[in-house]
């Protein structure tokens, strides 16, 4: 068992693990990820710095077969449980200990966070920020940016087109 390997069922879970110090940046090269275009849009708006730090790892995971990705905007995470189990199987990990029907959105709404059947890797999930948390994060980001500009730093305004980058990485994987 790789003690640093984890299955993240949301981008917010990755962010929280990094912010809380429960995960090192280098550990992300072995983790498995489940996320969606909708969640990543929220993540980019909520915490641009961590979004920029995590995105290269998600792109690498996509290219290596360690990312399950839902590319429709209508659900924050509409991945099917079968899709998550396919990701686990592809990476030599036992399936989730829950019914194989349905979506992550429905499962996480109705039940507790599932685990991998043999408990070989931990499974982490964090929901989307509340409106109050989102506003506080955006306010803090604005204050941090103002402090950087006041100190003479230039803010980066360039963003990669991560939606295209993820689809490209997924299409190119073995």
Confidence of residue 159 (pLDDT cuts 50, 70, 90): low
pLDDT at 127: 77
Residues of the chain with pLDDT > 70, as a percent, come to 87
- pLDDT higher than 50, residue 5: yes
pLDDT at 76: 66
Q: Are strands 7-8 and 67-70 parallel, antiparallel or unpaired?
A: unpaired
Residue with the bigger pLDDT between 69 and 42: it is 69
CA distances from 73 to 36, 77, 161 (A): 8, 9, 16
Q: How does pLDDT run across 88-113, given as a tens digit for each residue? A: 999 999 999 988 888 887 777 767 78
Question: 90-93 — which CB contacts under 8 Å span 24+ positions?
Answer: 90/65, 91/32, 91/65, 91/66, 93/7, 93/32, 93/120, 93/121
Contact 104, 84 (CB under 8 A): yes
Q: Which two tokens stand for residue 155?
A: 């803010």
Contacts for 69 with CB less than 8 Å, ≥ 6 apart: 34, 35, 36, 37, 62, 79, 166, 170
Q: Report the distance separating Cα 151 and Cα 148, nearest Å.
A: 5
Mean pLDDT over residues 6-32, rounded?
91
Mean pLDDT over residues 124-138, rounded?
73
Report the range of poorest mean pLDDT among 10-14, 49-53, 125-129. Answer: 125-129
Q: Report the distance separating Cα 165 and Cα 170, nearest Å.
A: 9
- pLDDT higher than 80, residue 24: yes
pTM as predicted? 0.82
Break the chain into its structural domains and give their ranges.
7-128+161-172
């Amino acid at each position: 068992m790789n003690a640093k390997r984890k299955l993240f069922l949301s981008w917010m879970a990755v962010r929280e693990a990094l912010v809380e110090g429960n995960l090192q940046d280098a550990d992300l090269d072995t983790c498995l990820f489940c996320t969606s275009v909708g969640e990543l849009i929220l993540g980019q708006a909520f915490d641009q710095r961590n979004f920029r730090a995590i995105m290269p790892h998600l792109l690498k995971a996509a290219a290596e077969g360690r990312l399950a990705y839902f590319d429709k905007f209508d659900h924050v995470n509409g991945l099917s449980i079968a899709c998550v189990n396919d990701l686990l199987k592809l990476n030599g990990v036992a399936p989730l200990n829950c019914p194989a029907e349905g979506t992550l959105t429905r499962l996480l709404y109705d039940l507790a966070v599932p685990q991998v059947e043999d408990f070989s890797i931990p499974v982490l999930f964090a929901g989307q920020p509340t409106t109050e948390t989102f506003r506080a994060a955006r306010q803090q980001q604005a204050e941090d940016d103002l402090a950087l500009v006041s100190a003479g730093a230039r803010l980066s305004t360039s963003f990669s087109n991560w939606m295209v980058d993820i689809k490209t990485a997924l299409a190119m994987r073995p």
